[in-house]
Amino acid sequence: MASISDIKLLASLANIPINEPIPTSKLTIALSQPPFIALPGSMNIRDLGTFAPGYVKPLSVFRSGRLDSIPESSRSLLRSQLQLSHIFDFRYPEEATSALCEIDGINLVSCPADVRLEHSPASFTDLVEEHNRVRTFLNRTSFKRIFEALKVAKEGQAVLFHCTGGKDRTGVMAALILDLMGAPAQVIADEYALTRIGIEPFREELLHEAVRHFAAKLGQPELNVDTPGVCEMLGSSSASMIAFVKHLREDLDGAEGYLRKSLGFSEHDVEAIRQNLRPSS
């Protein structure tokens, strides 16, 4: 894990509200150090095992925002530097405006994570409440494909999964992995909160896209970042992830229960996944 001083810096930056900028000097320091991966044009790439090395093997699982902005000349680094064998893209077709080019040795998998709500909310505040209540990001098909890849992964066959900003769909998948590997809820929540830092170079662009999306969804063109509930919805507070992990453990018997009961993995499958992700003793 990063040093204690770095942890304190990351925690302080992660608590800055999404509608306020992070100071450039501090952002530069944070993004140049683990668990962040510095690749040209990348958004929010993090090594899950570097942040939680006692639970997940470093260089085995990566999470990120969209990869479209990485220049073509640098994309081979995803294989040579990160040792990726699979990239899983949770975005809907309408989000993926440009596809990542083919990279030798990497299997690109489109598996949109369906996060449809049970009904159309009347206001943004209602959307936030509904969003939390139904735990919409526990997507079965998309997440199962990643766990299947982790079950058979060999050395030098890391996986990366991402959505647009690398926040919620990606965050829930990361939480499932960390919970499966025995990480405490606070570690899972602190890891999730780092997205606030990772998206900062793209923050204004992402905020604009998200507000425009929800304004159209709700038929409320006046919606903006000052609308009640918007910052909460678009942020990545550790408290939100603590609540999710509580739901996962109390209602679904944790990640292992979710894998076995909802995704159809056997006890042997779960142990194979753990074995592939377990750090060396």
pLDDT tens figures, 201-235: 999 988 888 888 777 777 778 777 777 667 777 78
Structure confidence at residue 124 (pLDDT): 45
What CATH number is given to the structural domain containing 8? 3.90.190.10
Q: Which residues fall within 8 angstroms of residue 159, CB to CB, at 6 or more apart? A: 60, 61, 62, 84, 85, 86, 87, 88, 146, 149, 150, 153
Q: pTM score, two decimals?
A: 0.90
Task: Tell whether 129 is covered by a domain.
Answer: no
Q: Residue 265 above 90 pLDDT?
A: yes
Structure confidence at residue 157 (pLDDT): 96
Task: Tell whether 8 is covered by a domain.
Answer: yes
- Return the structure tokens found at 22: 């992070």
pLDDT band (50, 70, 90) for residue 250: very high
Question: Taking CA 213 as the corner, what is the angle to CA 121 and CA 170, rounded to the nearest 5 degrees?
Answer: 90
Q: Which of 69-78, 196-205, 221-230 shows the lowest per-residue confidence on average (mean pLDDT)? A: 221-230
Half-sphere exposure of 18 (CA within 13 A, CB side): 29
Task: Tell whether 128 is covered by a domain.
Answer: no
113 touches 139 (CB < 8 A): yes
Task: Tell whether 99 is covered by a domain.
Answer: yes
Q: The sheet that has 158-162: what strands, in order across it?
A: 46-47, 61-64, 158-162, 84-89, 107-110
pLDDT band (50, 70, 90) for residue 129: low
Structure confidence at residue 268 (pLDDT): 98
Q: Which of 62-76, 99-113, 121-135, 228-242 shows the lowest per-residue confidence on average (mean pLDDT)? A: 121-135
Amino acid in the structure at residue 261: K
pLDDT band (50, 70, 90) for residue 118: very low
Q: Residue 86 above 80 pLDDT?
A: yes
* Domain count of the fold of the chain: 1
Structure confidence at residue 133 (pLDDT): 38
Q: Residue 177 above 70 pLDDT?
A: yes
Q: Residue 26 above 60 pLDDT?
A: yes
Q: For residue 102, what are the domain limits?
A: 4-116+135-277
Among 46-50, 72-76, 222-226, name the most confident range: 46-50
Q: Which of 11-25, 55-69, 99-113 shows the lowest per-residue confidence on average (mean pLDDT)? A: 99-113
